[in-house]
């Protein structure tokens, strides 16, 4: 009988009538547990608990909030090996990547523990005599957090930590596919001393739990990460009901490789950016835009490096690339590989790999001979699939990089300071990488994109306060 995992509502573990099995994508016979699937009524209870808790948590001292967040961060760092394995088991990234992600979640809590102490304000002289103006920040209220499956602990962490640091209460709906890491995180936050109702976990379907969060008049703001279609639909409803909303969505991130690039540096940046974490990162380098002089050498070096990558069980020490997360995503990856081939692209790799266990193993695919108008270069695949677009020179490469509806991350590999400097200024992306992969970011600086990739204030770093607080301006007569 698999272990049962309940929702966490108002400080209590609450079972649901329905459960969902959490299956290891490296080994479909391995069931991690059965996780509650809440209904709309349970979601309402969690929202009400958060609204009730807000009355006291919003007035708690910075020290109280620091203590809860700091203890959470310490527990995550202490348990990162164990939780990293759990994460790898439920999502399919390698154990090293899983441990790295849990460590990152721990650091995020430590960072926002400090931020709780640093909430300041401004005192501004009034333009009128006898008055002083004070500008301060206050928490918003109840925040609904809706998170995707590809970073099962880091994304919940980078939304929960600032929400709590600034005095808000939270209802978290993790991805239905990977609830185990989020479940452990919420348990740790509760054990770290978060009062009842301050953090609530409601697991289940987006169409039930997510919908109920977006619809509730007691929820003051929604922070969402996931697909463009779902994000845009949520934003429209939040705007209509006056909720604050923040979206992080897809990418079709370009990595430009110029003739003067260090070939080894470029290949490592592209292998990492395109294929690590099975390409299931919104910052993945899915378009490799390569100038003519280096194109053929680059493609050959990529292929030579790709055949050295070991695809297999996420929990095996020798694995470089774990499985695709589920059957639906595998189908999507294979559909795009087929579409690219039908459009005239030449596919290297991209075939299913037999494993020791039943799992969704797919070899990374490099698609050459593509142009930027093809669907493979316009739509997010979200798998270990990258295409190569040949460019005449730097100017054309930059134009191709910007010819997309997305704008999350962009990279350039070059030894030219002039081109690197120009690219940093002119590429239309929220994050720019020079001689380093488009994926993989620090935890203490802003994260987010432009154009169709993001909406609303940035996440992470001190910039997170723009979303999780509201400004008050007070006029005081002396």
Q: What mask, x for binding ligand NDP by CB under 6 A, covers residues 224 to 243? A: -xxx--x---x---------
**Cα 191 from Cα 188, distance rounded (Å):** 5
Which span sits near ligand NDP by CB under 6 A: 191-199, 201-209, 398-406, 458-466? 201-209
Of positions 109, 149, 276, 443, contacts ligand NDP by CB under 6 A: 149
From 334, 337, 364, 368, select the one nearest 349 (Cα to Cα).
Answer: 364
Alpha-carbon distance 94 to 88, whole Å?
Answer: 6
Q: Does 206 bind ligand NDP (CB under 6 A)?
A: yes
Q: Coil, strand or helix: which one is 271?
A: helix
What is the x/- site pattern for ligand NDP, positions 280-299, by CB under 6 A? --x-----------------
**Residues in 439-458 that interact with ligand NDP by CB under 6 A:** none
Q: How far is the CB of 222 from ligand NDP (least distance, A)?
A: 8
Does residue 142 belong to the site contacting ligand NDP (CB under 6 A)? no
Q: Is 20 left (phi over 0), alpha (psi -120 to 50) or beta?
A: beta
| Distance between CA atoms of residues 223 and 163, nearest Å | 10
Strands (E), 249-308: 253-257, 285-291
What are the backbone dihedrals phi and psi of residue 459, each rounded to the nearest 5 degrees, phi first? -100, 160
**Assigned token pair, 226:** 């996931």
Q: How far apart are CA 133 and CA 123, in angstroms?
A: 6
| Using rule CB under 6 A, residue 380 touches ligand NDP | yes
Helix axes 154-165, 95-117, angle to 10 degrees: 10
* 42 makes contact with ligand NDP (CB under 6 A): no
Residue 51, classed as helix, strand or coil, is: helix
Can 34 be counted among the known catalytic residues? no
For residues 90 and 151, the answer to whether their CB atoms sit within 8 Å is no
Binding of ligand NDP by 211 (CB under 6 A): yes
Q: How far is the CB of 372 from ligand NDP (least distance, A)?
A: 19
> What pairing do the DSSP bridges indicate for beta strands 469-477 and 131-139?
antiparallel
Under rule CB under 6 A, residue 459 binds ligand NDP? no
What tokens were used for 376?
């493979």
Give the span between the Cα atoms of 154 and 104, in whole angstroms. Answer: 7
Decide whether 150 or 372 has the Cβ nearer to ligand NDP. 150
Q: Is 150 in the site for ligand NDP (CB under 6 A)?
A: yes
Q: Verify binding: residue 148, ligand NDP, rule CB under 6 A.
A: yes
Residue 360 in contact with ligand NDP, rule: CB under 6 A: no
Q: Which is nearer to ligand NDP, 141 or 206 (CB)?
A: 206
Region near ligand NDP per CB under 6 A, out of 10-18, 80-88, 143-151, 437-445: 143-151
214 binds ligand NDP (CB under 6 A): yes
User: Least distance from C-beta 278 to ligand NDP, angstroms?
Assistant: 12
Residue in 91, 101, 248, 334 annotated catalytic: 248
**Cβ at position 232, least distance to ligand NDP in Å:** 10
Residues 315-354 as x/- pattern, contact with ligand NDP by CB under 6 A = --------------x--x----------------------
The closest of 19, 23, 1 to 325, measured between CA atoms, is 23
Report the residue from 90, 176, 184, 459 that binds ligand NDP according to the rule CB under 6 A: 176
Q: What does the DSSP assignment read for 155-189?
A: HHHHHHHHHHHTT-EEEEE--TT-HHHHHHHHHHH
The DSSP element (H or E) to which 137 belongs, if any, is strand 131-139
Output 210 or 384, the one with its CB closest to ligand NDP.
Answer: 210
* Six token digits for residue 454: 């993001």
Task: Out of 85, 205, 305, 320, name the contact with ligand NDP by CB under 6 A.
Answer: 205
Based on the shown chain and the rule CB under 6 A, indicate whether residue 54 belongs to the binding site for ligand NDP. Answer: no
Beta bridge partners, 391, equal: 291
Pairing of β 431-434 and β 7-9: unpaired
Q: Does 275 bind ligand NDP (CB under 6 A)?
A: no
Nearest approach, Cβ of residue 22 and ligand NDP (Å): 12
Q: End-to-end CA distance of the chain, in Å?
A: 70
**Closer residue to ligand NDP, CB minimum distance, 107 or 453:** 453
Residues with catalytic function: 248
- Tell me which residues touch ligand NDP (CB under 6 A): 146-150, 173, 175-177, 205-207, 210-211, 214, 225-227, 230, 234, 249-250, 282, 329, 332, 380, 382
């Amino acid at each position: 009988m698999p272990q049962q995992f309940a929702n966490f509502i108002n400080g209590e573990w609450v079972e649901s009538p329905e459960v969902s099995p959490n299956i290891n994508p490296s080994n479909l016979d391995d069931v991690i547990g059965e996780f509650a699937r809440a209904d709309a009524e349970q979601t309402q209870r969690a929202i009400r608990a958060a609204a009730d808790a807000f009355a006291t948590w919003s007035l708690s001292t910075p020290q109280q909030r620091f203590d809860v967040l700091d203890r959470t961060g310490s527990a995550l760092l202490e348990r990162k090996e164990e939780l990293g394995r759990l994460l790898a088991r439920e999502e399919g990234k390698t154990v090293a990547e899983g441990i790295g992600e849990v460590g990152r979640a721990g650091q995020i809590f430590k960072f926002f523990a400090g931020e709780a102490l640093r909430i300041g304000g401004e005192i501004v002289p009034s333009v009128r005599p006898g008055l002083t103006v004070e500008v301060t920040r206050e928490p918003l209220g109840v925040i609904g957090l809706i998170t995707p499956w590809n970073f099962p602990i880091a994304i919940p962490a980078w939304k929960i930590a600032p929400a709590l640091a600034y005095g808000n209460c939270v209802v978290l709906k993790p991805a239905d596919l990977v609830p185990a890491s989020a479940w452990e995180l919420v348990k740790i936050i509760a054990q770290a001393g978060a009062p009842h109702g301050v953090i609530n976990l409601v697991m289940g379907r987006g169409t039930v739990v997510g919908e109920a969060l977006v619809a509730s008049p007691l929820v003051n703001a929604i922070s969402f990460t996931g697909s463009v279609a779902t994000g845009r639909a949520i934003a429209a409803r939040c705007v209509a009901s006056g909720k604050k909303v923040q979206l992080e969505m897809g990418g079709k991130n370009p990595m430009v490789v110029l003739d003067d690039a260090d070939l080894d540096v470029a290949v490592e940046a592209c292998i990492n950016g395109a294929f690590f974490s099975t390409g299931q990162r919104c910052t993945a380098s899915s378009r490799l835009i390569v100038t003519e002089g280096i194109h053929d050498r680059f493609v050959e070096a990529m292929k030579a490096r790709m055949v050295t990558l070991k695809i297999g069980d996420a929990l095996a020490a020798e694995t470089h690339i774990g499985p695709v997360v589920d059957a639906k995503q595998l189908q999507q990856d294979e559909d795009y590989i087929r579409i690219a081939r039908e459009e005239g692209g030449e596919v290297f790799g991209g075939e299913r790999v037999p494993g020791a266990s039943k799992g969704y193993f797919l070899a990374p695919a490099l698609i050459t001979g593509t142009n930027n108008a093809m669907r493979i270069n316009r739509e997010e695949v979200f798998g270990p699939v990258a295409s190569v677009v040949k460019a005449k020179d730097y100017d054309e490469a930059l134009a191709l990089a910007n010819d997309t509806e997305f704008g999350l991350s962009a990279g350039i590999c070059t030894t030219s300071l002039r081109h690197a400097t120009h690219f940093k200024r002119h590429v239309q992306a929220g994050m720019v990488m020079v001689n380093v992969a488009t994926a993989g970011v620090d935890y203490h600086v802003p994260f987010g994109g432009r154009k169709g990739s993001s909406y609303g204030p940035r996440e992470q770093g001190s910039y997170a306060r723009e979303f999780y607080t509201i400004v008050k301006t007070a006029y005081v007569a002396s």
